[in-house]
Amino acid sequence: MIQDLFKADGLTSFEGQLVRDLAELVIAGLVVVPTAVLPIKGFEEWQHSGRVNDTDVDQLLRWAAENATEETRELIIRASLAREYYGLLTNVSVKPNFTEIHSGIDRIYRSWGDEGARASRIVRNIDEAVSKPSLIVQGLAKNVHSVLTRHAINGTLTNSAEHQQSGTQVFSRNRSTHTNLRCPTPETGADRLFVG
């Protein structure tokens, strides 16, 4: 039942705002982190059986192995809702193994029935059918760096003079000029080599 966001054609409007927003980015041609979607049907199966479907967890493990990078040693599971409300657990970080994925999904699903989530749905007048979460799973990169290539005020491409003054990294349009760029890492201040 797991769907890859890039190949998902059977997702409905009830899969939640987050799924819709990511799908729109993909359709627009923007680069989006590989994303797996566990549709609302997974939550409904959990409601009827009281347990997370092992097949879904196995599919997520296969998906994670196919989409893994060196930086993503963990996964993040996020809830996507048609209408937002408080009390539903989201942004659960798990290691890519059966037990942690199973537990992470179960924790999010169980939080749907917590007092805070139920009260929030009542106060916001959200029907239970609309409040069911779909889940998105993405790789969680802990060591992420941003590179500024435009001047913050006027939007022009940065040049070597601005680079020396501001300390930001400069990338030109010619890929060969930035194949061995060094910059300090946030943790140690030591140089780290970027290979392009």
Q: 149 and 126, same structural domain?
A: no
Please state, in angstroms and as integers, the Cα–Cα distance from residue 3 to each residue in 11, 41, 118, 168, 172, following that order. 9, 12, 28, 39, 37
Q: 117 and 42, same structural domain?
A: yes
Domain that holds residue 190: 145-196
User: How far out from the chain centre does Cα 59 lie?
Assistant: 17
**The token pair that represents 125 in the structure block:** 């007048």
Residue after which a domain boundary falls, among 120, 141, 162: 141
Q: Encode pLDDT of 120-140 as tens digits.
A: 999 999 998 889 999 999 988
Q: 113 and 49, same structural domain?
A: yes
Q: 127 and 187, same structural domain?
A: no
Q: Encode pLDDT of 39-78 as tens digits.
A: 999 999 999 999 999 999 999 999 999 887 766 789 999 9
Number of domains in the chain: 2
Q: 157 and 115, same structural domain?
A: no
Q: Encode pLDDT of 92-116 as tens digits.
A: 999 999 999 999 999 999 999 999 9
Q: 37 and 127, same structural domain?
A: yes
Q: 8 and 77, same structural domain?
A: yes
Q: 131 and 49, same structural domain?
A: yes
